[in-house]
Structure 1
């Protein structure tokens, strides 16, 4: 196993690569699975007006816009200055947007039991399994009792699995063969590993899916576990 400094792996390197990707690929429309989750569980706009929602790793702001459209009191956190600047430029002055922060989740200052809904999409797997558990426990701490979260993890059948330098069990610093993902730290989990991780953090799985996407003329298989969870007792 290659000896790589952990701080270098899942903090500064990821932040730099994430910022560059946002500049190159500015996603404006929400993921269809996130849209389906919101529409299925939060269709009453009047009730949503009294609910607080957080997007962790908001990137270009596409899911923040979705939350505001559904009338949530909307909050976002991302550790990239570039993400903050881009999201701020497209979201405009909307009274449903309560706060955008440039910060790591580890610097959490949200009150316990603060959020009714949390989106954690495409962001949790940039750290090792042990570090993901720490983040998930923070998320559980700030989620209200019976609050819900949608979250995804990369599967071990993803085309990126095994590429680059192995850092930890099923965690890799991706190499040039990964294309745009070069130099990013990714962790890949089996279904049971992901489910167990959520359980250890205090979540109850309400439903789960697997989503596969073939890209670049069917040469790349991107695949994720998707979980809808609620805070446990």
Structure 2
């Protein structure tokens, strides 16, 4: 089963459809965007961030390459009587014209793709953003326990093999995953005029292991 098929299966399950938006994203969106800005949720998954955008009066768009992800997002929107334009598409081929969006959010999505797809996705994000637009991209970094504890395929790519079923990586078994250090963030997103890189670390089981992400802010 490839990554797309696995996510299609996972998005059909309620436990892989988080209900609440990430707090860091809530803060970023409400601080940086204004009513009626056009914002794309790139890799919308179960729809929690699409809902956040729609309920705060942004003109909201969502794409995901999983049909079940789009279905789950639409169900969330319908439940709350919200509207967004949704499409099935890949991060490296965004089906919108140049300079359409004031903002793009891409939360924990790029890391499930190959280096080549990630590089194309970065150029696509740049292409669809307006001049002065902002993207908020969250990726895993090389301090994350998945990177530290698994087989390296290349400098940044890892094959997930997790034996502990209580760890979230257990559901990612068999997936290839791409991690970033700051140099790789700067290389991949080199088209952007401004790149801000912050870290978000969350430890588990008495600090015995940690999820660690980069919160990347890109300004065109």
Place the TM-score, normalised by the shorter chain, in its bin.
0.7 to 0.9
Q: Which runs of 5+ in 1 are unaligned?
A: 1-11
Cα 1:94/1:115, change in 2 over 3 Å: farther
Distance 1:206 1:105 in 2: 20
Farther off after superposition, 161-170 or 143-152? 161-170
The DSSP-based 3-state class of the residue aligned with 1:109 is coil
CA contact 1:58–1:78 (8 Å) conserved in 2? yes
RMSD between aligned alpha carbons?
Answer: 2.1
Indicate yes or no: 2:32 matched with 1:14: no
**Alignment length, in residue pairs?**
213
The DSSP-based 3-state class of the residue aligned with 1:160 is helix
CA contact 1:124–1:132 (8 Å) conserved in 2? yes
TM-score when normalising by structure 1 = 0.83
Distance 1:107 1:176 in 2: 31
Match in the other structure for 1:155 = 141
Distance 1:215 1:19 in 2: 28
Q: Which runs of 5+ in 2 are unaligned?
A: 164-168
Map residues 88-107 of structure 1 onto 2, 5 A cutoff.
88-92=74-78, 97-107=83-93
Indicate yes or no: 2:47 matched with 1:53: no
Distance 1:56 1:101 in 2: 10
CA contact 2:139–2:180 (8 Å) conserved in 1? yes
How far off its partner does 1:197 sit?
1.7
Distance 1:217 1:19 in 2: 33
Match in the other structure for 1:7 = none
Indicate yes or no: 2:199 matched with 1:210: yes
Indicate yes or no: 2:189 matched with 1:183: no
Of the candidates 156, 163, 187, which is equivalent to residue 196 of structure 1?
Answer: 187
How far off its partner does 1:224 sit?
0.6
